Structure 1
Amino acid sequence: MSFVKIWIHLVFSTKKREPWLNKNIRYDVHKHIIKNCKEKEIFLEAIDGYTDHLHCLISLGKDQTISKITQLIKGESSFWINQNNLTPAKFSWQDDYFAVSVGESQVEAVKGYIKNQEKHHAKKSFEDEVNEFMRKYGWERIKDLPA
């Protein structure tokens, strides 16, 4: 029997960073993603976000890839949001995403960070958060990516 535990902190935003995920729908979207992940055997440990993005802490299974998990979460959730007319216009997620590995010793800290998104973003914009991620993980900001 194979045993794999690879923690991934996944972050993705709404298309053009539209603030569609207001309090009226945000938690329904979270609940739906949690349910969908269980059905697809995606181990989702934490989820939260703000009006224009989501953070997920996921443990990959032995046959799972970051791109496939991200595609399943984003694709199904945008379909569900549109099917239920939760936004005034067609909803979609931005194509891009951030994904970084998380060491076992950092799982609790990342869970805490994810679960405090509303409080966190009262002080820091998503743009500032993106720039902080870029610096922290040594990524260059690509000028053609939407801000």
Structure 2
Amino acid sequence: MAFVKIWIHAVWGTKNRASTLEKSKRKKLFAHIRENAHAKGMYIDFINGVEDHIHCLMALNADATMAKTMQLIKGEAAHWANQEQLFREKLYWADEYYAVSVSESQIEKVRMYIRNQEEHHRKKTFAEECQEFIDKYGFYVSQG
């Protein structure tokens, strides 16, 4: 048996940055995402977001890939939210997402960052945050 825990801070947004995630209903979506992940053997430590994107601190296990994990989380969450008519508008996610590994020593700092999303986004847009994420972590961005 392999014993693996790889901490990941993942961020994904709504398609075209639509403000679909109504504040009064986000907690229900986050609870569902957490429950669905648990049912699929995935561990979500902390999740929060604002009207156009979500931050999630999760641990990948030995047989998980980032792409499959994001596909399972995003696809099922949108399907469920739309089936439940949770939001006024249909929920569609953008194709892209951002994900970085997190050192065990930085877990609490990342939790606080995720916890304070509303405050954070009073000062910075999601587009600005994405660019900062790309610059800070040196993501390679394909040109085609």
Following the alignment from structure 2 to structure 1, what is the Cα–Cα distance between the partners of residues 93 and 143? 19
Asked whether the equivalents of residues 22 and 87 of structure 2 are also in contact (C-alpha less than 8 Å), the reply is no
Could you give the per-residue CA deviations for residues 83-115 of structure 1, whole angstroms, max 9, x where no partner exists? 011233332111110011111111111111111
Secondary structure of the residue that 2:96 maps to in structure 1? coil
Deviation at 1:140, TM superposition (A): 5.5
Asked whether the equivalents of residues 8 and 102 of structure 2 are also in contact (C-alpha less than 8 Å), the reply is yes
In structure 1, stretches of 5+ residues that fail to align are none
Cα RMSD, aligned residues only: 1.5
Answer with 38-47 or 133-142: which moved more.
Answer: 133-142
Deviation at 1:20, TM superposition (A): 0.6
Q: Does 1:52 align with 2:28?
A: no
Following the alignment from structure 1 to structure 2, what is the Cα–Cα distance between the partners of residues 122 and 105? 28
Using structure 2 for the length normalisation, give the TM-score: 0.93
Structure 1 residues 28-43: aligned runs within 5 Å: 28-43=28-43
Aligned residues: 144
Deviation at 1:126, TM superposition (A): 0.8
Following the alignment from structure 1 to structure 2, what is the Cα–Cα distance between the partners of residues 115 and 7? 17
Instruction: Report what 1:91 is aligned to.
Output: 91
Secondary structure of the residue that 1:128 maps to in structure 2? helix
Percent of pairs identical after alignment?
48
Using structure 1 for the length normalisation, give the TM-score: 0.92
